[in-house]
Copies of this chain bind each other. A is one copy, B any other.
Amino acid sequence: MTRIRNPEQTRRRLLEAASHEIHRNGFQSASLDRILKKAGVTKGALYHHFPSKAALGLAVVNEVVAGKIRSNWVMPLGCCDDPITAIRTVLAGSLKDLENDYMALGCALNNLAQEMSPINEDFRDCCGEVFGEWRGGFADVLRNGQVRGLVRPDIDPESAATFLVAAVEGTVGMMKNAQSFEPGRQSLEMLDAFLESLRPQAPKQSLPVVELQGATEGCEAC
């Protein structure tokens, strides 16, 4: 077969196929042969672009998974002036998005982090950096809210951010196991209450419900 060459496209096809395969089966159980079949390239091409399976996996984290975390969880946080509402909107929207798309497979970042952290330092650090970006997004919004008097000054934004990421990943995991959005609904109920309690004068009861938005769209609730 004589094919027209397009190295960048070949690389992208490999990354995307690997991303899907790893999302489904985990990194260790991901099969290079299945990835190659899905990408429509051969082993020679793979090992021309990546020196090893591990390098391919790390590239998936850095170039595919990290991008999704940013676009789904970090960037949308700027949609709204009120930090609490912004976070509530992003949580509800992104979890809802997950229901439609990849609920059964969970969060690609967390899957990899949980599988690989104990056995591979490169993956651990790589995933850790992306988690750090994610936490940083929450923390920045909360800290900024404190400066503007919209968030209680006595809470630690870093702790709250870590807690939020942990709660989200835990919730996604429960949804994956239950094959249902119901755990997401229940967790969101409690997360909303928690987030409202971060306001300077927490009102007695729950605030008006924020309407769900696609994660990549603007927040019209604000």
A residues lining the B interface (CB < 8 Å): 24-26, 28-29, 104-106, 110-111, 113-115, 117-119, 124, 127-128, 131, 154-156, 158-160, 162-163, 165-171, 173-174, 176-179, 183, 185-187, 189-191, 193-194, 197, 205
- Cβ–Cβ < 8 Å partners of A189 in chain B: 156, 159, 163
Report the Cα distance A23→B187, complex, angstroms.
27
Given contacts A106-B117, A162-B186, A166-B173, 20 further A-B contacts (CB under 8 A): A28-B29, A104-B117, A106-B118, A111-B114, A113-B173, A113-B176, A115-B115, A124-B177, A124-B179, A131-B177, A155-B193, A159-B187, A159-B189, A162-B174, A162-B190, A166-B171, A166-B183, A169-B174, A170-B171, A194-B197
Number of copies: 2
